[in-house]
Amino acid sequence: MNSNALITHIRQYTSLNNEEAVLLEGSVEIRELKKKEFLLKEGEICTANYFIIKGLLRSWFTTEKDAEQICQFAIENWWMTDYQSLELRQPSGFNIQAVESTTVACLPRDRQDALFAAVPQLERYFRIILEKALNAAQLRVKYIFSLSGQERYDHFAGGFPEFIQRIPQYMLASYLGFTPEFLSKIRAKRIS
């Protein structure tokens, strides 16, 4: 698997000639991850931005009560990283882990500046990508605050039925902000 998916994605948002595409390909590294493999662990400094060519990542952290709290899922054509750790070179408070067998393109932090200098349109590409990501994060906050647990499940299950198949229920429960037991009870009600 190669970086064609990434180049195609970038060309949806900005121009990129073949020379530039070659520069990009020289700056990213394709990595194959097995299910449950980590790209980042809490306490480590995040070293790259990850673009998902195929598969599914999750980011999560450990709460004070030793529970896993899932922050985000990322599927094909999404970027995932911890920007705070990446840009400030600080230890991260998050884990990034493959939910299923996954292929990513890694853009290492130490190659990013040179690449952006050589291909300035990438600044534009990431600006647009980040606008979308920020929007998604804000919509998430909106749903968390305006919907009950039951409603969040209905909304999510209705909006992403195919996605539900790819993740275990305990991860969905964590993402939606409640316990696996409660999700189980919601489903029991729904079926009857």
Partner DNA sequence: CGATTCTTTGAAAACAGTCAATCTGTGTGG
Partner DNA sequence: CCACACAGATTGACTGTTTTCAAAGAATCG
Residues of the shown chain interacting with its own copies in the complex, contacts defined by CB under 8 A: 61, 63-64, 69, 71-72, 83-84, 87, 93, 116, 120, 123-124, 126-128, 130-135, 137-142, 144-146, 177
Identify the CA nearest to 98 among candidates 50, 170, 38.
38
Q: Which residues of 42-67 are buried (b: 16+ CB within 10 A; e: fewer)?
A: eebebebbbbbbebbbbbbeeeeeee
Q: Most distant CA pair in the chain: distance in Å?
A: 60
Query: Based on CB atoms, which residue is closest to its own copies, 101 or 108?
Result: 108
Q: Select the residue interacting with DNA from 31, 69, 150, 155 (CB under 7 A).
A: 150
Any idea which residue has 């590294």 for tokens? 29
Instruction: Tell whether residue 166 is a contact of DNA (CB under 7 A).
Output: no
Q: Select the residue interacting with DNA from 23, 140, 155, 180 (CB under 7 A).
A: 180
The DSSP H or E segment spanning 17 is: none
Which residue(s) pair with 44 in the sheet? none
Query: Based on CB atoms, which residue is closest to its own copies, 71 or 103?
Result: 71
Please choose which of its own copies, DNA, none residue 15 contacts, taking the beta carbon within 5 to 8 angstroms, the exact cut-off set by kind. Answer: none
Report the interface residues with DNA, using CB under 7 A: 65, 148-150, 168-170, 177-185, 187-188
